[in-house]
Chains A and B, each alone.
Chain A
């Protein structure tokens, strides 16, 4: 493992990898600042640039950008009360009151250090989990992987925003779309209408660009943009005051990181939930809960550490089982597909150095983001004054060129536009886009393992194998638990 770790680190210390990571971090900070865009959009926009790059450089750019958006969106939340992304909403509760009191620099320092430590914690937890993941994976067979994919779909539908039923319907649509193209088992062209273009299936990365980036631009056009007009009052505090605060509240950093890690490891649970839960935890465990909302530094530290640790947690099911830990992880899986990397057993056993490369990326990207973010925050924050009318045409152009450059086929541009409209409509009518794309990712995995399981273990493989049966029961409990809890809550009049 030590050898793989060193080899993973060495892969990053090439000119190409470091340049692309720095570019990713800078781009992530920029996208993070801008209200309405987030880590998923940043990764979707960068995806076309990863084609043809070395895996280490491509992953450095993608993950680096994603890590940077966390702190980037917190900066605009702290300074202007306009979070760059939904996951940073809870940072505004105390971050902005701190800015109002003239403690903006302290809040930024605390956020940066909490983000750094949370990120490192996530990376360490990912490393520690590797031997366990390896042991678990070696003991699992195709029927268990089939159940794992099924569990992934179930839990994603449960935790997605809005109705569970709509979540499962969106996942069903994604699954069916995944079957478009050549059937890998029989070689039959399915749902292609005789089109050669569709024979290759719908490209994940193109669909992701449409579903997340183009649809977001339609949404931004309809909603209108936000332009921050406020002058920043950085006041009398310093960044180092915030850094010291983080070390003073090390227990809070630790508990928030654990929470972030746990939430990240659950497939489909968004970081926004983690931030709010961490804030609630900080309020409950604080000696001065009445100070929350008036500019308590703990209110900045807790959500930031949770959001950062979430990344390492999200990578655990993504790398180990090929079940994405969230929206952004589906984009990472798309990148894996393009690079020919197979998550799961193959990645953990034969390409362990790549896993360690990702661990190191989280560490180094956090370091770069913290350093770069603290010293440039004030200057970059002015970008929040950029109107939506400038963003929309430029990002649309990048999306279309990006979709085209995936394989150099004009049909992909049409697919991106169609998925952009579909994504907008799904979002509008509360059918989760994330569920749909995760359905697309898991569709072929489900089908492949189902065929292998049937061939090896017969039609009743899900009841004849004890582990598979236990997993099936677990899937059913996962599906039923939130409703049972809800029913019990309503029966007891809200008391747990």
Chain B
């Protein structure tokens, strides 16, 4: 998908959300919709303008550089000249796909809902270390155990949080 198409999809999703809010607002009393309606209408107008700008007036720049507003106290050339980061010995780790990143969050969420908080954390962290972190089994197991124990100590022992057991356990135990 091109960047332009992606931007349009995001703007359209926002437009649908704002229209949804506006539509639902009319189910409420005049007093209850007094503030939401104008905000929804203003947001709809603004997102339509945004859609028009990104499709038909690309050179129409609506961004403000805040540092420009403090320009009286700046020496721009001196600042930008220093930005060259030479001799940085930093090893970049390759990233993953965006869908995988979002998928991992959703997978973790699904695991929590199904098997409960603590087992899900154990399996997710261990699996992440082994599969994506490419750590050795034993090292991954030690890291995971430390993580699990720390979370248990902080939240269950200190904060007295009763952890969620998960749908599967609830199904069996009722």
Contact B85 A221 (CB under 8 A): no
Give which listed residue, A214, A273, A398, contacts B67 with CB less than 8 A: A273
Given the complex, which residues of B lie within 8 Å of A273, measured CB to CB?
66-67, 70
* Complex Cα–Cα for A190 and B27 (A): 9
Given the complex, which residues of A lie within 8 Å of B31, measured CB to CB?
185-186, 451
Given the complex, which residues of A lie within 8 Å of B62, measured CB to CB?
163-166
Give which listed residue, B39, B43, B73, B102, contacts A284 with CB less than 8 A: B73
B1 sits at the interface (CB 8 A): no
Question: Could you tell me the distance in whole angstroms from the C-beta of A84 to the nearest C-beta in chain B?
Answer: 13
Contact B129 A393 (CB under 8 A): yes
Given the complex, which residues of A lie within 8 Å of B94, measured CB to CB?
224
* Complex Cα–Cα for A166 and B50 (A): 7
A186-B31, A190-B32 known; A165+B53 contact, CB < 8 A: yes
Contact with B along A481-492 (1 / 0, CB 8 A): 011011001000
A93-B82, A190-B36 known; A222+B133 contact, CB < 8 A: no
Given the complex, which residues of B lie within 8 Å of A394, measured CB to CB?
125, 147
Contact A183 B32 (CB under 8 A): yes
Contact A165 B71 (CB under 8 A): no
CB within 8 Å of B: which A279-314 residues: 279-281, 283-284, 289, 292-293, 299
B151 sits at the interface (CB 8 A): yes
Question: Could you tell me the distance in whole angstroms from the C-beta of A316 to the nearest C-beta in chain B?
Answer: 18
Question: Could you tell me the distance in whole angstroms from the C-beta of A261 to the nearest C-beta in chain B?
Answer: 13
Contact A280 B39 (CB under 8 A): no
B138 sits at the interface (CB 8 A): no
Question: Could you tell me the distance in whole angstroms from the C-beta of A260 to the nearest C-beta in chain B?
Answer: 12
A283-B78, A388-B93 known; A417+B106 contact, CB < 8 A: yes
Chain A residue with Cβ nearest B69: A482
Question: Could you tell me the distance in whole angstroms from the C-beta of A36 to the nearest C-beta in chain B?
Answer: 11
Chain A residue with Cβ nearest B131: A389
Contact A413 B93 (CB under 8 A): no
Contact with B along A191-218 (1 / 0, CB 8 A): 1000000000000000000000010011
Contact A279 B79 (CB under 8 A): yes
A458 sits at the interface (CB 8 A): no
A228 sits at the interface (CB 8 A): yes
A397 sits at the interface (CB 8 A): yes
Give which listed residue, B7, B28, B64, B98, contacts A429 with CB less than 8 A: B7
Interface size on A, residues (CB 8 A): 99
A404-B117, A450-B35 known; A429+B90 contact, CB < 8 A: no
Given the complex, which residues of A lie within 8 Å of B69, measured CB to CB?
482, 485
Chain B residue with Cβ nearest A444: B35
Give which listed residue, B32, B89, B105, B108, contacts A421 with CB less than 8 A: B105
Given the complex, which residues of A lie within 8 Å of B76, measured CB to CB?
280
* Complex Cα–Cα for A185 and B30 (A): 12
Given the complex, which residues of B lie within 8 Å of A81, measured CB to CB?
85, 87-88, 90
* Complex Cα–Cα for A173 and B78 (A): 39
Question: Could you tell me the distance in whole angstroms from the C-beta of B148 to the nearest C-beta in chain A?
Answer: 8
B164 sits at the interface (CB 8 A): yes
A165-B49, A172-B39, A276-B67 known; A292+B82 contact, CB < 8 A: yes
Contact A446 B68 (CB under 8 A): no
CB within 8 Å of A: which B98-126 residues: 98, 100-102, 104-106, 108-109, 112-113, 117, 121, 124-125
Question: Could you tell me the distance in whole angstroms from the C-beta of B75 to the nearest C-beta in chain A?
Answer: 4
Question: Could you tell me the distance in whole angstroms from the C-beta of B60 to the nearest C-beta in chain A?
Answer: 10
Question: Could you tell me the distance in whole angstroms from the C-beta of B162 to the nearest C-beta in chain A?
Answer: 6
Contact A173 B73 (CB under 8 A): no
Chain B residue with Cβ nearest A90: B79
Question: Could you tell me the distance in whole angstroms from the C-beta of A98 to the nearest C-beta in chain B?
Answer: 13
Contact A405 B18 (CB under 8 A): no
Chain B residue with Cβ nearest A409: B164
B154 sits at the interface (CB 8 A): yes
Contact B125 A277 (CB under 8 A): no
A230 sits at the interface (CB 8 A): yes
Question: Could you tell me the distance in whole angstroms from the C-beta of A283 to the nearest C-beta in chain B?
Answer: 4
B159 sits at the interface (CB 8 A): yes
Contact A408 B161 (CB under 8 A): yes
Contact A280 B96 (CB under 8 A): no
B149 sits at the interface (CB 8 A): no
B141 sits at the interface (CB 8 A): no
| Extra inter-chain contacts (16) besides given A52-B159, A80-B90, A172-B18, CB under 8 Å | A173-B18, A176-B18, A176-B36, A188-B32, A190-B28, A226-B90, A270-B66, A277-B70, A277-B73, A284-B78, A293-B78, A389-B128, A389-B132, A396-B108, A400-B121, A413-B112
B residues whose Cβ falls under 8 Å from a Cβ of A: 6-7, 10, 14, 17-18, 21, 24-25, 28-29, 31-32, 34-36, 39-40, 42-43, 46-47, 49-50, 53, 61-64, 66-76, 78-79, 81-83, 85, 87-98, 100-102, 104-106, 108-109, 112-113, 117, 121, 124-125, 128-129, 132-135, 143, 147, 151, 154-155, 159, 161-164
Return the 4 tightest CB-CB contacts between A and B, nearest first. A280-B74, A224-B95, A172-B43, A389-B133
